[in-house]
Amino acid sequence: MDLSALHTVSDIESLRSLAFGMIESRDAEIREHRRENHYKQTKIDALTAEIARLRRVQFAARSEAMNPEQRALFDDAITADIAAVETEIEALKPPTARSARQAPKRVPLPAHLPRVETRHEPESCTCGSCGTALTLIGEHVSEKLDCKPLEFFVRRDVHPQYACRACETVTAVPVAPAIIDRGIAAPGLLAQMLIAKYVDHVPLYRQEGIFARSGVTIPRSTQAEWAGICGVRLQPLVDAQRTELLASPVLHADETPVALLDPGAGKTRRAYLFAYRTAAADHPIVVFDFCTSRSGQHAARFLGDYRGALMVDDFAGYKALFERGITELGCMVHARRKFNDLYEANQSTQAFEALERFAAIYRIETAIKELDPQDRHRYRLLHAKPRLDDFHRWLVALRQTVLGGSGLAKAIDYSLKRWSALTRYLDDGRFPIDNNPVENSIRPIALGRKNWLFVGSESAGRRAAAIMSLLATAKANGHEPHAWLLDVLTRLPTTLNRDIGQLLPHRWLPPAAR
């Protein structure tokens, strides 16, 4: 405004009012910014304190008695919480104050994945400043891993038919037999459904919802029919795998409870999956046997005339097997676990010394892991046997000073009672020291039953045990389960009985290796 044009007092007053209004507006804006900054800083301080608390909880919980599954769930939850709080803090900071995050060090994304490229070109090919044509001098490329929902497609198998006009002969490639005759499910879909059910432990009703989100309706009743048919088709492989397992000179055995639906009683009752695994590290075989109880007669039925060595815990159901000629091997981990539980409960110095002695024995096993059975046997006799003899003398002497009925007395009595079985692994380099391999095979079932809750019938239990036997063996041999099952479901209908062995997981070769 031109001051020289002001000739009246009212004009001066108007200007003064305008100036005061601008100042008040600016002051109000400053106060608002201060309130906002104060709020953000207070929020940042609170979130920073929350991160510190979460990190303390995360660190402190490492000393808590958690099994591996609980540990993994807890770590995942805390990591997600910390990341969420850090993201909130970054959002509250002004752009100039936000910390520049370093690019995470990561391995390159898998080369076999297809690339979907999107080019982001400028709106104009001329310079926005001077109008000169732009010249390409390079590219900034970023790759991010993406995914889309389960993708379905229709596989069309076309068999052209040709005719000879001279003799009226029709020529065509015959239609290959399929796992499910005249069914709509190709091997890839069947493999997906079975892997989700028996490896990822996703119940059929959940799979029905997953399929629906991808635009395909497959009722759970249809999936159940497919699972039943596939179980029957795969049974010859299970029988052949069991035969080869029973030919192994050394086996592991263990069992885990599962709930079996009892419709007549309107509730569930306890059944069991007995697990058997070969002891040889190369080409292991795993077989599950569904049983309606934990009775030792189920193990006797499964093993039949088997007369090799059997690694087990102290379950009484196996005792009759050892009376008929099977060699008993005791699990060193079970003996160690008694002392470990005692040490974690009250920091017992005697339990700690026992754990130190177990650790020395296991260091020997680590050193001879790659040796052949003969060299392993000689090394054990030279290095492990003296330690075990000294360990036994120490346990006997300690037991005389411990009150009966105490936790330490029970741990000592367990080891002394089973000492012959625990140390029998010294007799043969093929004998294992513990039952860990079969316990590792059982662990996914313990996790899975939290999802599927119970087995619907005895037939369903036997079918699940059969399919899980094949898939567990595939995993134990380092195969991707879906790749193995897809190939088997494709080839099985045209494979002769005498060639079934080629499809067994411990003998199977991927297509690229055949």
More confident residue, 370 or 98: 370
All structural domains of the chain with their residue ranges? 37-59+81-91, 188-330+452-514, 332-434
pLDDT bin (cut points 50, 70, 90) of residue 76 is low
Q: What are 12's two structure tokens? A: 């001066």
Taking the C-alpha atoms of residue 35 and residue 125, their distance in angstroms, rounded to an integer, is 46
pLDDT bin (cut points 50, 70, 90) of residue 162 is confident
Question: HSE on the CB side for 458, CA within 13 Å?
Answer: 3
The answer to whether 120 and 139 are in contact (CB under 8 A) is no
Instruction: Name every residue whose Cβ is closer than 8 Å to that of residue 152 and which is 6 or more positions away in sequence.
Output: 189, 211, 214, 215, 216
Taking the C-alpha atoms of residue 44 and residue 58, their distance in angstroms, rounded to an integer, is 21
Taking the C-alpha atoms of residue 506 and residue 486, their distance in angstroms, rounded to an integer, is 16
Residue 51's pLDDT is what?
A: 79
Taking the C-alpha atoms of residue 35 and residue 24, their distance in angstroms, rounded to an integer, is 16
Q: How far is CA 400 from CA 357, 393, 397, 411, 412, in A?
A: 19, 11, 6, 13, 10
Tell me 92's DSSP state. H
Which range, 97-106, 375-384, 397-406, 438-447, has the best average confidence (pLDDT)? Answer: 375-384
Tens of pLDDT along 317-342?
A: 888 889 888 999 999 999 999 999 99
Residue 63's pLDDT is what?
A: 52
The answer to whether 444 and 197 are in contact (CB under 8 A) is no
The answer to whether 461 and 445 are in contact (CB under 8 A) is no
Tens of pLDDT along 183-227?
A: 888 999 999 999 998 898 888 889 999 999 988 999 888 888 888
pLDDT bin (cut points 50, 70, 90) of residue 454 is low
Other C-beta atoms lying within 10 Å of the C-beta of residue 431: 20
Q: In the chain, pLDDT over 90 holds for what percent of residues? A: 41
Instruction: Look at phi and psi of residue 354 and say left if phi exceeds 0, alpha if psi is from -120 to 50, else beta.
Output: alpha
The answer to whether 429 and 372 are in contact (CB under 8 A) is yes
Taking the C-alpha atoms of residue 320 and residue 331, their distance in angstroms, rounded to an integer, is 18
Residue 1's pLDDT is what?
A: 44
Tens of pLDDT along 230-278?
A: 988 899 999 999 999 999 999 999 998 888 877 666 677 888 999 999 9
Instruction: Look at phi and psi of residue 6 and say left if phi exceeds 0, alpha if psi is from -120 to 50, else beta.
Output: beta
Torsion angle (degrees, nearest 10) of CA 331, 442, 250, 380: -40
Tell me 254's DSSP state. E
Taking the C-alpha atoms of residue 132 and residue 126, their distance in angstroms, rounded to an integer, is 5
Quick one: how far is CA 293 from the chain centroid? 28
Give the CA angle between residues 197, 203, 206 to the nearest 5°. 120
Beta partners for residue 269, in sequence order: 260
- Where does 381-480 have alpha helices with state H? 385-399, 407-417, 419-422, 436-452, 458-476
Which amino acid would we find at residue 141? V
Task: Indicate whether 68 pLDDT > 60.
Answer: no
Q: How far is CA 374 from CA 198, 456, 505, in A?
A: 39, 48, 28
More confident residue, 53 or 347: 347
